[in-house]
């Protein structure tokens, strides 16, 4: 849960700098969950849950609190990048992106070698 806290915080700060109103809850313990978690989640129209697994927490939150939580799952064993989280936040908010969140790997490799095409 703390593994991607830095990238989450950076993504939230960047989105807030763009004028987006976004809240954040960091769960330190899953058992027991905070007593007021259901009340907090129901205050928001959209709930995004970044997880480093197949989405067990989002399923649990949806079942327990009846909120329409959206999962942002990553199972590659690598932490979330700020750009990935920002792209998902903007997708959930319905914001159109004019620039891709992450450049394709082949383009980055060409740029690193000094080639343009």
* Average pLDDT, rounded, for the chain: 86
pLDDT of residue 4: 72
**pLDDT value for 3:** 63
Q: Sketch the domain layout of the chain as residue ranges.
A: 5-113
Write down the pLDDT at residue 73.
93
Indicate if the pLDDT at residue 99 is higher than 90: no
- What would the DSSP string read from start to end of 7-28? HHHHHHHHHHHTT--------S
**Against a cut of 0.85, is the pTM above it?**
no
Structure tokens at 25: 């809850």
Q: Give the integer Cα–Cα distance in Å for 13 and 22.
A: 9
Cβ distance 37 to 67 under 8 Å? no
Q: Average pLDDT, stretch 73-91? A: 92
């Amino acid at each position: 849960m703390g593994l991607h806290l830095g990238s989450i915080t950076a993504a939230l700060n960047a989105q807030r700098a763009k004028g987006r109103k976004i809240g954040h809850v960091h769960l330190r313990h899953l058992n027991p969950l905070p007593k007021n978690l259901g009340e907090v989640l129901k205050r928001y129209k959209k709930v995004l849950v970044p997880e480093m697994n197949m989405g067990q927490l989002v399923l649990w939150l949806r079942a327990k609190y009846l909120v329409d939580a959206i999962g942002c799952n990553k199972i590659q064993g690598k932490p979330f990048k700020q750009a990935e989280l920002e792209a998902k936040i903007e997708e959930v908010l319905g914001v159109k992106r004019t620039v891709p969140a992450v450049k394709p790997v082949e383009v980055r490799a060409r740029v690193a070698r000094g080639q343009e095409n």
